[in-house]
């Protein structure tokens, strides 16, 4: 048998399992490590410039997220030895949400999600606090405990009343009426 240090390397274009080691946002470079690295290797991180997203079209449609270290992936090696991440692998199946046929689910945790289904429902939030829109029956409903509608011309509060007990000079006073960034600084009366 000849002395060939690359004898255990897989052929180009085979897909290999691995994981995300790190991500450099300044250079938009993903670093991956491969399972079953060659015996002669210390399994160095491999830089990947083009990483996959769930959906990306040249017309601007996009769905994706920042890569998280430790995420299991499937990588393919193209000609020239360059690697590409072609997908993520769901290894921790107990954390997968329950999926329903005909549903698209975007979820960042159990209480922050968007659900679209083939029965014309759009649901934002969680089961306990949500905004529900049905586009076929032309209605909108919510089961949110507190509702605040503030504009320059009117104020409507349904639920607990909050006040600014100590004026925070770091926030523009008019912005308190136009966005929710200041809400956590209010005190309940």
- SS3 for the chain is CCCCCCCCCCCCCCEEEEEEEEEECCCCEEEEEECCCCCCCCCCCEEECCCCCCEECCCCCEECCCCCCCCEEEEEECHHHCEEEEEECCCCHHHCCCCCCCEEEEEEECCEEEEEECCCEEEEECCCCEEEEECCCCEEEECCCCEEEECCCCEEEECCCEECCCCCCCCCHHHHHCCCCCHHHCEEC
Query: Looking at the domain assignment, is residue 163 inside a domain?
Result: yes
Question: 30 and 48, same structural domain?
Answer: yes
Q: What is the pLDDT of residue 136?
A: 92
Question: 151 and 136, same structural domain?
Answer: no
Cβ contact 94:84 at 8 Å: no
Question: 170 and 130, same structural domain?
Answer: no
Query: Looking at the domain assignment, is residue 2 inside a domain?
Result: no
Q: How far apart are CA 175 and CA 92, in angstroms?
A: 42
147 φ/ψ angles, rounded to the nearest 5 degrees: -130, 130
Question: 127 and 67, same structural domain?
Answer: no
> Which domain covers residue 154, as residue numbers?
147-188
Q: How far apart are CA 9 and CA 6, in angstroms?
A: 5
Q: How far apart are CA 155 and CA 120, in angstroms?
A: 32
176: CB partners within 8 A, 6+ apart:
150, 164, 182
Query: Looking at the domain assignment, is residue 8 inside a domain?
Result: no
Number of domains observed in the structure of the chain? 3
Query: Looking at the domain assignment, is residue 5 inside a domain?
Result: no
Q: What is the pLDDT of residue 1?
A: 45
Question: 80 and 23, same structural domain?
Answer: yes
Question: 181 and 116, same structural domain?
Answer: no
Q: What is the pLDDT of residue 12?
A: 56
Query: Looking at the domain assignment, is residue 124 inside a domain?
Result: yes
Question: 44 and 109, same structural domain?
Answer: no
Query: Looking at the domain assignment, is residue 159 inside a domain?
Result: yes
Query: Looking at the domain assignment, is residue 1 inside a domain?
Result: no
CATH of the domain at 36: 2.40.50
Q: What is the pLDDT of residue 173?
A: 64
Give the pLDDT of the chain (189 residues) as one tens digit per residue.
455 555 555 555 678 889 999 988 888 888 999 887 666 668 888 898 766 667 777 777 777 777 788 888 888 887 777 888 888 887 777 877 888 888 888 888 878 899 999 999 999 998 888 899 999 989 888 888 777 777 777 777 776 777 677 777 776 666 655 555 566 677 777
Closest to 142 measured CA to CA, from 123, 118, 163? 123
Of 67, 88, 109, the residue at which a domain comes to its end is 88
Q: Decide: residue 18, CB within 10 A, 0-12 exposed, 13-18 middle, 19+ buried.
A: buried
Question: 68 and 46, same structural domain?
Answer: yes
Closest to 67 measured CA to CA, from 55, 83, 51, 82? 51
């Amino acid at each position: 048998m000849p002395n060939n240090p690359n004898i255990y390397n897989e052929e180009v274009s085979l897909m290999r399992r691995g994981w995300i080691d790190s991500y450099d946002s300044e250079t938009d470079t993903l670093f991956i490590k491969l399972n079953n690295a060659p015996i002669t290797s210390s399994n160095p991180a491999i830089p990947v410039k083009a990483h996959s997203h769930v959906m990306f079209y040249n017309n601007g449609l996009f769905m994706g997220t920042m890569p998280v270290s430790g995420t299991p992936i499937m990588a393919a090696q193209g000609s020239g030895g360059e690697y590409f991440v072609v997908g993520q692998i769901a290894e921790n199946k107990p954390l997968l949400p329950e999926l329903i046929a005909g549903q698209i689910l975007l979820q960042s945790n159990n209480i922050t999600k968007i659900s679209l289904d083939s029965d014309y429902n759009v649901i934002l939030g969680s089961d306990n606090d949500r905004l529900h829109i049905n586009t076929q029956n032309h209605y909108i409903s919510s089961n949110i405990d507190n509702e605040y509608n503030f504009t320059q011309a009117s104020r409507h509060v349904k639920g607990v009343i909050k006040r600014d007990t100590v004026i925070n000079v770091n926030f523009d006073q008019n912005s308190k009426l136009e966005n929710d960034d200041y809400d956590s600084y209010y005190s309940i009366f």
